[in-house]
Each structure stands twice: as structure tokens, then as C-alpha cells.
Amino acid sequence: MSESGGSTNAYEALPHVHPEALVVYCGDPRLQTAFVPFIEDELGLAKGQYIPTVVGGGAGALAYPQRLPKEFKFMKDRFELIHRAFPSVKRAVLINHEDCIYYRLLAEKIPGFLVGDAAKLRDRPGEDLNLIAGVFDRFLSHFGFQPEFYYGRFIDANHTKMAFDHVCWQ
């Protein structure tokens, strides 16, 4: 055993969990201080009760199965793994947020794909929730997760505070 690699600190683990939700959200470091309290306090999911699936773009990674098939497959495979490993998971919480850097990068990388001015692009992740709901119905509903959609938006000019809207369609 290597002496240099060992740590004397002990961190708590949860040996018996029955997570009820998987939660997809963006890895943007600006927003982790908003996402985690939203999930834990507002959605009422304590650590161990949910499976964080943190990827650049959040739920946006599911939006374009035809244009971005590798992104979609990566996500779908994770859903399948979670479904098999944790049958207690019944909810899929899908979060997108305003001014997502993933969307900006896609717009630069794939000319003509996410067309529109900067202001439109900033709100595109919210508009895409509708698309994502359709994709979920078509390609992901067989896992038996009940989907929920949320949109995180900035509520102050300096982008230091966020609120989350529960997005539903009638």
C-alpha cells in the first residue's frame, strides 16, 4: 500500500439507499450553489434520495437525438443503467437553465444549428424543454420514469440569483 496516496480523513457514505429520482442538470460551476439547494430544499430530495446526472447542457443534452446522436445516446445509456441498478427511481427531474454555455458552444460549433441573436440563444434552453418533453415521450418513457421539467432563470441583472419554474404543458 502506498503511504503517499492514503488519506486519514473519513467521509460519510450511505450503504442503504432507495433513490426515488434521477436529476439531470448542468455542470456549470456558476450555478451549483443554486441547483443543489433547489433540488434538496425545494424538490425535497435529500442526498441519497436522488441520483445526480450532471452534464454540460443539463437536460439540453437530450434535445437533439437526430442532430447530436452521441450526446443523446450517452444520456439514454445512463437512464438505462439507472433504471436497472435502482428500480426505486420513479421520477426523472430534467432541468435546463438560462444562458447555458453548452448552447453557446453548440451555436459556435455547428453553424446554422441554433440560429438567432444572443438574446434568443440565452432563452433557448427554456424553449427546448418542450422538445425534450417530446423526446422523452418517444424514446425514454419505457424506463417508467415520470418526467418533470424545470427552467432555471436569473432574477437579477448581475446573475447572482436564480429561480426555477416548473414547466408544464396542458
Binding track, positions 31-70, relative to Zn ion; x by CB under 5 A: ----------------------------------------
Shortest Cβ 30–Zn ion spacing (Å): 9
Out of 34, 92, 93, 100, the only residue in the binding site for Zn ion (CB under 5 A) is 100
Task: Identify which range of 71-79, 92-100, 133-141, 160-168 contacts Zn ion by CB under 5 A.
Answer: 92-100
Out of 26, 68, 75, 132, the only residue in the binding site for Zn ion (CB under 5 A) is 26
Angstrom distance (rounded) from CA 15 to CA 125: 36
Residue 128 binding Zn ion, by CB under 5 A: no
> Please, which residues have CB within 8 angstroms of residue 69's CB and are 6 or more apart in sequence?
none
Helix 118-135 and helix 101-109: axis angle, to 10°? Answer: 100
Assigned C-alpha cell, 157: 441583472
Shortest Cβ 25–Zn ion spacing (Å): 8
